[in-house]
Amino acid sequence: MANPSILILAGDGIGPEVMEEVKKIIRWLDARRGIAFDLGEDLVGGCSYDAHGTPLTDAAMARAQEADAVLLGAVGGPKYDALDFSVKPERGLLRLRKEMDLFANLRPAQCFDALADFSSLKRDVVAGLDIMIVRELTSGVYFGEPRGIFTEGNERVGINTQRYTEGEIARVARSAFDLARKRGNRVCSMEKANVMESGVLWRQVVQEVHDREYPDVELSHMYADAGAMQLTRWPKQFDVIVTDNLFGDLLSDLAAMLTGSLGMLPSASLGAPMANGRPKALYEPVHGSAPDIAGQGKANPIACILSFAMALRYSFDLGDEASRIERAVEKVLADGLRTADLMGPEGGTPVSTGAMGDAIIAAMDASL
């Protein structure tokens, strides 16, 4: 039987550095656990534009479609700010999401105890936090038509269209309910049904899917602005939050800072099952390309490493190995190891990107 395949798209800025630490773990799994993957690599984002004049080539897109999972580092940087919108580095990522039909974006927000004081909120509010935001990723206002900047009379008008079909809402709702069954069995759906017809439909369809297919899961509804307030008031009231593309973008970034650092947060983007039963999937850290620290060994690789752990869990049914990685991360943080983004007033042992990866592997060794 062929090994499962992974396409690595390290991207720009710190992307290649943090991805190198993931490769160390992939090699460790092969050597110490007998778990092998067939790895491929290609370009995405600014580096692809530099090489090919496009943020994602058709060949790279085809390889992503064929892979069992795609691991992405980061894209973009000030170097590319003046490019036409159609060839900006981020368009490569958007193309991957759209053409792979990755409709469910999973954004966990977990606060490790060793980092509870890094949050801007009080320790008792965030310590032990473990929530999951499920964001619809391929429709809504970011993709709706008509869109653009037009001239009406003597002034310009910017138009974006919020559009959802019943089927698009139902499938992301099912993803949220399925996840909840494996967690705390609670889903909160967030929209703006008080002022948006798309929000009214969203609430109706989520409720219908629940009543018809998931009556065992506790479901609540909340307006998205109230949800933002509640996330900063008492985030531990939530288990799984499901919401649309725009609100999910905003709420997941808000939830990210509850944990203290964007350098800690992974994500998964999942689509429909392929012929082998695995979902189409792309895994990436939440943080950006951070070109100001690229090549200096300052980047935190943990978000990228935890994104790979999500791949093990959701694409390859290797939940035990995913948990081994997560426990190793928790151990090194409890031991006081800190990359630059995690250095706070209480101190800690400063380590480089590579040293953090090595420490996590050492902790995995100790777990055997």
Q: Are 302 and 17 in contact (CB under 8 A)?
A: no
Q: Is 253 designated active site?
A: yes
Q: How far apart are the first and last CA of the chain?
A: 26
223 tagged catalytic: no
Instruction: Out of 80, 142, 164, 283, pick the active-site residue.
Output: 142
For residue 2, give the DSSP letter.
P
Respond yes or no: is residue 84 known to be catalytic.
no
Q: 349-350 and 337-338: which strand pairing?
A: parallel
> Tell me, what amino acid is at 187?
V
Counting beta carbons within 10 angstroms of the beta carbon of residue 230, is it exposed (0 to 12), middle (13 to 18) or buried (19 or more)? middle
The rounded distance, in Å, linking the Cα atoms of 73 and 266 is 11
Catalytically annotated residue among 88, 192, 280, 331: 192
Active site residue 142: yes
Helix/strand/coil (H/E/C) assignment for every residue in 93-132: HHHHHHHCCCCEEEEEEECCHHHHHHCCCCHHHHCCCEEE
Task: Tell me the CA distances in angstroms from 124 to 116, 234, 241, 261, one per residue in order.
Answer: 8, 10, 21, 17
CA–CA gap between residue 90 and residue 97 (Å, rounded)? 11
Backbone phi and psi for residue 136, each to the nearest 5 degrees, phi listed first: -65, 135
> How is residue 344 annotated by DSSP?
B
Task: List the structure tokens of 181.
Answer: 């069954």
Catalytic site residue from 101, 178, 225, 358:
225
Indicate the residue type of 50.
Answer: D
Determine which one of 80, 249, 283, 341 is catalytic.
249
The residues with which 133 forms a beta bridge, in sequence order, are 107, 241
Asked whether the beta carbons of 18 and 73 are under 8 A apart, the reply is yes
- Is 192 an active-site residue? yes
DSSP code, position 76: -
Active site residues: 142, 192, 225, 249, 253
